[in-house]
Structure 1
Amino acid sequence: MIAQYKQTGLAWIWLALLVLIVDQATKIAVLQSFQLYDSVKITEFFNLTYVRNYGAAFSFLADSGGWQRWFFTIIAIVAVGLLSFWLAKTPKQQIWLVIGFNLILGGAAGNLYDRVAYGYVVDFLDFTIPLYGRWPAFNVADMGIVIGAACVLIDAFVNQKKTSSEEKKI
């Protein structure tokens, strides 16, 4: 059983746990140091600002009366389950896919914890982007999800090229 585990994407589960731990540690630091909407300017384009996100990405459905908490909680539980299943089925040699799944898993677990424990997701990384304006605040879990999704896309392109070159050889 352990030998099988070491041959799958679950061998990299430490990466998901790392994202989860760093995410929760930073959120705890914010909750202990900031009041809601407190902000500390770090640079001209970056602040630490404590906000609560009751919705999903970009506060989607944030003002929907409360039902969305459980809706997004269920989605996160399903995502954590599916990602864990896929990791158990993915060979660890598919490095981009394994890293991507684990980053997404850690991020999904971090935001899931927030929804269950607090009823909202703690966000605090606040950027202003030239010519765009203020980007919605986010957190370490969100970074894990976005970077993980990029890794999954990279894997899709890498595997597509491998498949194309293998087909040309035939």
Structure 2
Amino acid sequence: MIYYSLIVLASVIIDQLIKYWVVSNIEIHETIFSNPILSLTHIRNSGAAWSILEGKMWFFTVVTVIALIILPYLLYKYHNESKWMTIGLSLIIGGTLGNFIDRIRLGEVVDMFQVEFFNFPIFNFADVSLVIGVMCIFVYILFFEEKSKGM
């Protein structure tokens, strides 16, 4: 379980360090690095992706608290079953905590990574952790869940 706790902690620390650097060095709505693939643009988001449910802090707080009760339980439950599942859950917990820290501290989430070659919401490292975590769980479900149940 220590290994998975370190994944959670690393995800949160990296996320918060990047956000601290962005807030300290880039003005809101300013872009400082741009190429055809990715740019760094400092924005704030009080909603979810594409500003869905913007300003609904109570909703995100309730959902996050529920997730932070259920996800560690699932991590404990599956910690001996599958690396895909446990690493995925660890990354999801880390990403959830990273964005929750922003919501509590700032009332909104700091985002900075902008994909340039198609229209996609600007995102942060916590979001990357969440997406990779979900992908790990999908790999587990698609390729390993049946085998782990002995079918």
Q: Same fold (TM over 0.5)?
A: yes
Q: Select between 44-53 and 22-31 the one with higher mean Cα deviation.
A: 44-53
Within 2, Cα distance between the matches of 1:88 and 1:161?
20
Q: Provide, for residues 42-97 of structure 1, a one-character-per-residue CA deviation record: whole Å limited to 9, x for no partner.
A: 322211000111101221122xxx3x012112211211111111112223341000
Match of 1:96 in 2: 84
Match of 2:111 in 1: 123
Match of 1:42 in 2: 34
**Which residue identity is paired with 2:42?**
Y
For residue 35 of structure 1, give the secondary structure of its aligned residue in structure 2. Answer: coil
1:138 maps to which of 106, 115, 123: 123
* Moved beyond 3 Å, runs of 4+: none
Contact 1:69 1:115 in 2 (8 A): yes
Match of 1:31 in 2: 23
Within 2, Cα distance between the matches of 1:16 and 1:163?
24
- Matching of residues 56-95 of structure 1 within 5 Å: 56-62=48-54, 66=55, 68-95=56-83
Name structure 2 gaps, 5 residues minimum.
none
Contact 1:77 1:112 in 2 (8 A): no
Q: Provide, for residues 123-165 of structure 1, a one-character-per-residue CA deviation record: whole Å limited to 9, x for no partner.
A: 0001112xxx33210000000000000000111112345169x
Within 2, Cα distance between the matches of 1:99 and 1:22?
16
Matched pairs, number:
151
Contact 1:41 1:48 in 2 (8 A): yes
**Percent of aligned pairs sharing the same letter:** 32
In our comparison, the structure showing a higher alpha carbon Rg is 1
1:151 maps to which of 121, 125, 136: 136
For residue 116 of structure 2, give the secondary structure of its aligned residue in structure 1. Answer: strand
Within 1, Cα distance between the matches of 2:109 and 2:75?
25
Within 2, Cα distance between the matches of 1:93 and 1:151?
14
1:11 CA displacement: 4.2
Name structure 1 gaps, 5 residues minimum.
1-5
User: In angstroms, what is the RMSD of aligned CA positions?
Assistant: 1.7
Per the normalisation by structure 2, the TM-score is 0.92
